[in-house]
Amino acid sequence: MANSTTLTGQTMQITGLDANWNIASDTNWTQMKIKSILFEPSGANDEMIIRSTSASGAKLFHATATDTNDQKIKYFFGGRVSKPVITIAQCTLSSAAAATVLIDFE
């Protein structure tokens, strides 16, 4: 399964996280003003790292889930303009197909 990016209103949903994801190459956007990032894990000890601009950029989001129902969210009050990037080698997912990232934006 490959990454799938869907847009509904002001929410971008990224699923099938079995490959790197980059807003510039996986969408025709270059950046976005992020309001929040929500990670829906696929199992215990899932870890999600989302960086800005590149695989070595500043961490926008970093969370580890205790179980499948342990959703993690980070709010960016006032918004944060960024180019989010997910490098799968930096993440730990029990099942890439079952993990989801939701990015709310302005």
Residues 27, 43 contacting (CB under 8 angstroms) = no
- Give the three-state DSSP class for 96: helix
Q: For position 90, what pLDDT does the model report?
A: 97
| pLDDT tens over the chain, length 106 residues | 578 999 999 999 999 999 999 998 888 888 899 999 999 999 999 999 999 999 999 999 999 999 999 999 999 999 999 999 999 999 999 999 899 999 999 9
pTM here is 0.94
Q: For position 30, what pLDDT does the model report?
A: 85
Residue whose pair of structure tokens reads 């003003």 in the numeric block: 33
Q: For position 25, what pLDDT does the model report?
A: 83
Residues 40, 6 contacting (CB under 8 angstroms) = no
Q: For position 1, what pLDDT does the model report?
A: 55
Q: For position 7, what pLDDT does the model report?
A: 93
